[in-house]
Amino acid sequence: MAGSATVENSVSESASKPLRKLGFLTIGLFDEADPRRGHESTLEIIELGERLGFDSAWLRHRHLQYGISSPVAVMAAASQRTSRIELGTAVIPLGWENPLRLAEDLATVDLLSGGRVNPGVSVGPPMHYDTVKAALYPDTAEAEDFSFERVRRLLDFVRGEAATDFSGTEGFEVFSDRVQPHSPGLGARMWYGGGSLRSARWAGENGMNFLTSSVVKAEPAEGAAAEPGTAAATETVDFAEIQRSQIREFRAHHPDGERARVSQGLVVIPTDSASAEQRARYEAYAAKRLPRTTAPQGPGRLVFAPDLVGTSAEIAERLRAHAGFREVDEVAFALPFTFEHEDYVQILTDIATKLGPALGWEPAG
């Protein structure tokens, strides 16, 4: 009997869950000479996602680049062109934001959308901070706090904690001591985009949801962090094992435990209905990016996941064998950079009609 139980546990450990929620992520690129067309393309892709039954659409955030710099504004527009699909950010880098002002914007758009906003955030100094700090924080650049405390402030404001000790009527105006408008339920839909055990632990302790993407930090495998200096604490560079460890660390510290929400994001490119030219271009794109997945990159020792290109059946098989994927029942597959609008239509259609069902997902609506 004991041997039978061991076998059952092993099977359970290796089996992936049926996919419950299917989303996609876009960077929303545009041509500097015609930025409206790029933003329109993004909105059309979100509308297509809703028609195909996707559960969520997520926007990546880019500053001083030719991608979406204001995802909250794009979500506001998308909220008026859709009725069901959830709208998220993956992620807003809070180093560029004032938490109180961002809380006002997020709550406003959440109300306009009917409670469909899922804000994903992260912390740390803005990219290329030395070159941008004079424009971003001309008087406070050295005093700005880019730690988790910046997220905590945003959470407090979104969840309705007091922002000031002043409220009441002054003359003809009425003032609130908390951010207005307040959107009940938004606080439970806040996500942290993390790539390390430390960020996973913090997100869990603070009751957030957890976004884990195609980039993680090379760290000891699960359980090794508690035994520094031992052989078990040796750094691993296996992306899937690192991701699984971070997901389990998050849930171990979250009040909801195993029920805590985690969404996995990988670059996934099904080719079922792609033309021969598209397939060749997709494979070349993945091959060009593959070398960065073979070893940790840069001083942060970042580990990148390989892009998954192939038929939906082939991709589904690879995902079911992926240690990180086996921990989740939600995904937000990332659309590749620099592809054409028609490519995204083909990829999303194949994900919704072929790959999702192969993973046990059923379209919404």
For residue range 312-356, what is the model confidence (pLDDT) as tens digits? 999 999 999 999 999 999 999 999 999 999 999 999 999 999 999
d(CA 347, CA 332): 13
Contact 331, 21 (CB under 8 A): yes
For residue range 33-42, what is the model confidence (pLDDT) as tens digits? 999 999 999 9
pLDDT value at residue 15: 63
How far CA 275 is from CA of 118, 174, 178, 279, in Å, comes to: 34, 61, 54, 6
Contact 200, 165 (CB under 8 A): no
Report H helices in 22-98.
35-52, 71-79
This prediction's pTM: 0.93
The three-state secondary structure class of 4 is: helix
Closest CA to 104 of 63, 51, 167, 160: 160
Closest CA to 68 of 54, 88, 48: 88
Give the strand pairing for 302-304 and 215-217: antiparallel
Tell me which DSSP letter residue 351 carries. I
CATH of domain 18-358: 3.20.20.30
Tell me which DSSP letter residue 18 carries. P
d(CA 337, CA 49): 18
User: Domain residues of the chain, as ranges?
Assistant: 18-358
pLDDT value at residue 17: 85
For residue range 133-174, what is the model confidence (pLDDT) as tens digits? 999 999 999 999 999 999 999 999 999 999 999 999 999 999
